Amino acid sequence: MKVCDLVEQLNLKVFCGEQGLDNEVVGGYTSDLLSDVMGNVDENQVWITLQTHKNIMAIASLKEVAAVILVKGYKPEQAALEQSNEEGIPILGTDLETFEMSGELFGLLKK
Amino acid sequence: MEFVYEVEGGNFTKAGNASSAVKKTMKQLNVDPKIVKRTVVALYEAEVNIVAHAYGGVITVNVNAEHIHIVLDDNGPGIPDIDLAMQEGFSTASSKVREMGFGAGMGLPNIKKNVDELKVSSEVDKGTRVEMKTYLKNQ
């Protein structure tokens, strides 16, 4: 499955990093503790979080995640948006809460 | 081969830049991707520690055929009790840093898990030195 398939099927907003919409998705990780994400997320996973600052993109890039999903209607800060475009790692958005978004993604990837 | 990077204390907008540069270099040198991944986790944590706790620091990376050796030297408050700092969950990070999702007390344990050798030494009110080494060949 690709990031663009998630966008379509989970009705996600694309804030930035459009050139990464073809990134392959193999799983997901949900956490707001950056060290936890750093230690546990793996490449080509989608990271679900409520953090919106630039450091999420540093981690996303170092760990080569497929995309980041911001929950509860949060929007990325400008610096995060710029880095997302530079790295080609999309930041996506949903109005759903973390639990619901994780459940939706899990259900979709399990199919 | 030696590479040197400077880290600014308190500047979270640049946190991760050195780790990112080292990652690119390791990939260019065809280091085993598994080792690149582990090293990047350890180095990012150590870099963020300088940003979150120190006034500034220098990262020196040495790569040869046998190992990758990274030394992080900072000017900062130092660590009075290193054993305590190594414990998972222990943190002295400010509330501002915690709100960003850092400062969960997982940094040093994450570093330890991802390198072959780790040495932390510190002098209170002067600074901290973190040395980590990972072997590139099976020993």
| pLDDT tens track for B110-121 | 999 999 999 999
Q: What is the pLDDT of residues B23-65, one digit of tens each?
A: 999 999 999 999 999 999 999 999 999 999 999 999 999 999 9
Provide the Cα torsion B29, B34, B37, B39; round to 10°: -70
> What is the Rg, in whole angstroms, of the alpha carbon atoms belonging to chain B?
14
Q: Cα distance from A15 to chain B (closest Cα, Å)?
A: 20
Q: Is A28's pLDDT higher than 80? A: yes
Provide the percentage of residues in chain A whose pLDDT is more than 90.
99
Q: B54 versus A111: which is more confidently predicted? A: B54
* Shortest CA distance from A41: residue in chain B: B41
Q: Which domains does chain A have, with CATH numbers?
A: 3-110 (3.40.1390.20)
Q: What is the pLDDT of residues B61-93, one digit of tens each?
A: 999 999 999 999 999 999 999 999 999 999 999
Note the pLDDT of residue B138. Answer: 62
Based on the structure, what is the number of domains in chain B? 1
In DSSP terms, which residues pair with B118 in a beta bridge?
A: B132
Residue B129: CA count within 13 A, CB half-sphere:
7
* Shortest CA distance from A52: residue in chain B: B100
Region A85-104: what's the mean pLDDT?
Answer: 98
Residue of B11, B62, B66, B98 marked catalytic: B98
Q: What is the pLDDT of residues A35-85, one digit of tens each?
A: 999 999 999 999 999 999 999 999 999 999 999 999 999 999 999 999 999
Which of the four pLDDT bands, split at 50, 70 and 90, describes residue A111? confident
CATH number (domain holding residue B62): 3.30.565.10
Which of the four pLDDT bands, split at 50, 70 and 90, describes residue B131? very high
Note the pLDDT of residue B137. Answer: 79
Collapse the DSSP code of B137 into the 3-class scheme (helix H, G, I; strand E, B; otherwise coil) and give the result: coil
What sign does the CA torsion over B92, B97, B98, B103 have?
Answer: negative
The span from the CA of B102 to the CA of B14, in Å, is 15
Whether residue B64 lies in the annotated active site: no
Q: How far is CA A54 from CA A80, A84, B13, B21, in A?
A: 4, 9, 7, 17
**Domain limits at B75?**
2-135
- Checking DSSP bridges between strand A67-70 and strand A91-93, what pairing results, if any? parallel
Q: Cα distance from B2 to chain A (closest Cα, Å)?
A: 21
Whether residue B98 lies in the annotated active site: yes
Q: Cα distance from B73 to chain A (closest Cα, Å)?
A: 21
> Is B73 in CB contact (< 8 Å) with chain A?
no
The ipTM assigned to this model is: 0.90
Q: Is A21's pLDDT higher than 60? A: yes
Whether residue B47 lies in the annotated active site: no
The pTM for the full model equals: 0.94
